[in-house]
Amino acid sequence: MNYKKAALEYHSRGRPGKLSVTPTKPCSTQEELSLAYTPGVAEPCLEIEKDPLNAAKYTARGNLVAVITNGTAVLGLGNIGPLAAKPVMEGKGVLFKQFADIDVFDLEITENNTEQFINTVKSLEPTFGGINLEDIKAPECFYIEEKLVEAMNIPVFHDDQHGTAVITSAALLSALEITGHDPKKMKVVFLGAGAGGVACAKMFEAVGIPHENIFMLDRRGLVTEDRAAEEPYRGYFAQPGPAADLKEVIKGAHIFMGLSSKGLLTEEMLASMAPNAIVFALANPDPEIGYHEALKVRPDILMATGRSDFPNQVNNVLGFPFIFRGALDVGATKVNEAMKLAAAHALAALAKEAVPLSVCQAYNAKSLAFGPKYIIPKPLDPRVLLYVAPAVAKAAMDTGVAIRPIEDFEAYHLRLQKLIELKFTRDDLIEMKSTKFIPSFAVSK
């Protein structure tokens, strides 16, 4: 396929772009018009003035997320600016809607001054139920998110950091179980110390990897204590001792986590890792070492990449739509660490469930089963919604950040299932009814 030609035709045919705004209420008569706007619209305005929580009842705010960027670190394209970043932001909006029925306005902001960018986003709080920060370069992205989380009373989530962290942590949980490795004894080497690398390393700690066992490298080599003061975010993982390169640091490592560039992990380096190593080579579009090349050198490894044409694709679409779904449904004021960890454990749990035939067929596979070549669910598995959203909602409630707690989780499961029921056959639903996240009452009769 000529992807350039196909992609440009896809984005330009018919109405240009990938998103539109569609009314949710009828407005074809004088009476309906008077309810939609004046004079009827005054009534919900007054109710919201009395109680701001009514905004979620009478407006789209409770199901509306802003996807916001300044275009300084777009995919693998770099600092291409906010206007050129717009197709990516529209794409995120499509994924939110397709996978979790969340509405999105994409906002591309011409602002590289960090404080001004923060102030601009803060001023948008009355409009949105959540903020998804996207494609903002490090280290500014860390500070921006921190300040917005402190200042805003709605979830603020930088997907390049935490979406990647949630999915890789789910994959790590599965990989550790399959290999039988003890997380407390693992030496983990990170190649890439940007937004994703730092967030993943922190979440790896949360699933049991000791802080001192995490070795982080960037273009200058191993991040050491002499660099900690000037680079506080990656410096959190600074190691004592002299500088070293990847060839030296990776010797005897049990886990490699690559968020860098093509070809940086050589066959020699891979061969020096510990037996039954776990290799997450996530550089896109080409990993740090080729999938087939790696397995030829080390058939004992368990490997994941960011590509859909190899097993174990680490794809952020497994995370952000469902995390926001759960957060919005309970009116969460933030996405905290417990909610992220709940999402990772939910994904790892789903990976161990039998995979419906319809999902296998979507990937041209006869079957999919938990093991070295299937450690995380497939992005097109609709059950992800039924696992992750309730887990996130429950964690928000348990940690006291939910302002609209769910009182009836059975009814909530039914509502979520209605969002995905057309994606499964009845036989699929019957097959899954014993799954704890899909109770039997939720199966169509």
C-alpha dist (Å) from residue 108 to 137, 147, 268, 289, 407: 14, 19, 43, 34, 37
360: which 2 tokens? 């296998």
Q: Is 436 a catalytic residue?
A: no
3-state per-residue secondary structure call for the chain: CCHHHHHHHHHHCCCCCCCCCCCCCCCCCHHHHHHHCCCCCHHHHHHHHHCHHHHHHHCHHHHEEEEEECCCCECCCECCCHHHHHHHHHHHHHHHHHHHCCEEEEEECCCCCHHHHHHHHHCCCCCCCEEEECCCCCCHHHHHHHHHHHHCCCCEEEHHHHHHHHHHHHHHHHHHHHHCCCHHHCCEEEECCCHHHHHHHHHHHHCCCCHHHEEEEECCEECEHHHCCCCHHHHCCCECCCCCCHHHHCCCCCEEEECCCCCCCCHHHHHCCCCCCEEEECCCCCCCCCHHHHHHHCCCCEEEECCCCCCCECCHHHCHHHHHHHHHHCCECCCCHHHHHHHHHHHHHHHCCCCCHHHHHHCCCCCCCCECCECCCCCCCCHHHHHHHHHHHHHHHHCCCECCCCCCHHHHHHHHHHHHHHHCCHHHHHHHCCCCCCCHHHCCC
Is the sign of the CA dihedral 251, 193, 200, 389 positive or negative? negative
Give the list of residues 6+ apart from residue 52 with CB closer than 8 angstroms, or none. none
428: which 2 tokens? 């699929």
How many Å apart are CA 332 and CA 405, to the nearest integer?
9
What is the phi/psi pair of residue 69, to 5°?
-145, 160
Q: Which of 10, 37, 247, 418 does the annotation list as catalytic? A: 37
Tell me the CA end-to-end span of the chain in Å, nearest whole number: 43
Q: Is 387 a catalytic residue?
A: no
191: which 2 tokens? 């190649």
Residues 225 and 240 sit within 8 Å (Cβ to Cβ)? yes
369: which 2 tokens? 């089963």
Q: Which of 10, 50, 57, 92 does the annotation list as catalytic? A: 92
**Which active-site residues does the annotation give?**
37, 92
